[in-house]
Amino acid sequence: MRLFGCVLAASAFLACAAPPSALDGPTQAVVAQDGLVYVADGYFHARIAVFTPSGSFVRDWGSKGFEQGQLQTPHSLLEARDGTLVVADRDNGRLQRFGTSGEFVESVRSDVIGRPWSVAQTPEGHLFVADGGDQRPDAERAGIVELTASGDVLRRFSRFGSAPGELDEPHMLATAENGDVFVAEIGARRVQRFALRADCEASDPACAYENVAGWPALEATPGLDPLSIAVAGDRVYVGHQGQHPSIWVLERATGIRQSVLGENLFERPHGLFVAADGTLWVADDRGNRVYHLTTDGKSLGVLGEP
């Protein structure tokens, strides 16, 4: 007998199968060119779930495993300029590329890329990958890798550590229109901004990105415990996982906090994405929801509700 999605077995115990719309540890959500929302679902389901913006479940693909097309913690994703989806398959130590219907395209791994925790894209189609490493005392590793649109490694910069310009568990990253890279570190509990040296050409692999000193304005962001990050225009959105989980809005030029969105709405705002219409999509990995918000924090809907 089926009762509210559960099967009553002969043993009288209820065996419940979650509906496909239910999320379990979502890490990030993006709105693609086709207007659908693609969710990396994430820590437990190890799949990509697809919804309409209004919350209707469309389809999903992926399963937990190590083979091509399988996933072990899809931790971040984006839609590339060619319309494919690039997934940071963190625990498999690789990037995977899929068509939006779920067809496997390619898998990329290398010693230079390391273990991808997050992936972001520039307007030119370059990819920046956060190598979070394994975070073992005997194998401390971190850095950021820039790939060209064709997938070639252009440069790698930064290293493991807690000094300015170094990285300790770079959890999520985002890129600005001018090419600056913003990183939320959970090990060092800080946000950093990296910019190409003024005397450098972006196409020169020998030119590295450097930490922008004095950003953010730390005296204006006391208590920030960053987890996720997104950039849109002159705003930097940071998912705060400390007391009163929320989204902090920082001024891009200075890092000064301008406002706080969704205070106490989330359990853990793990992933952020700003859509083309300027609205914000927040993947809450502990609340098992994806929230859709206006830029002033008004709720427009929720994905993942059974």
Is 8 part of any domain?
no
| Mean pLDDT, residues 178-206 taken together | 92
Specify the 3-state DSSP secondary structure of 220. Answer: helix
Q: CB count, 10 Å around CB of 69?
A: 15
Does residue 1 fall inside a structural domain? no
* CATH number where 157 lies: 2.120.10.30
Domain-located, residue 181: yes
Take residue 34 and report the two structure tokens written for it.
Answer: 């086709």
Domain that holds residue 175: 21-303
The per-residue pLDDT for range 82-109, each reduced to its tens digit, is 999 999 999 999 999 999 999 999 999 9
pLDDT at 306: 62
In a domain, 4, yes or no: no
Domain count, the chain: 1
Alpha-carbon distance of 118 to 271, in angstroms, equals 10
User: What is the token pair recorded at 52?
Assistant: 């309409």
pLDDT score recorded for residue 230: 98
| In the predicted structure, residue 129 carries a pLDDT above the cut 90 | yes
- Residue pair 1/8 in contact (Cβ under 8 Å)? The answer is yes
247 assigned to some structural domain: yes
Residue 15 within any structural domain of the chain? no
Residue 14 included in any domain: no
Task: Read off the pLDDT of residues 231-267 as tens digits, 9 standing for 90 and up.
Answer: 999 999 999 999 999 999 999 999 999 999 999 899 9
Predicted TM-score (pTM) of this structure: 0.93
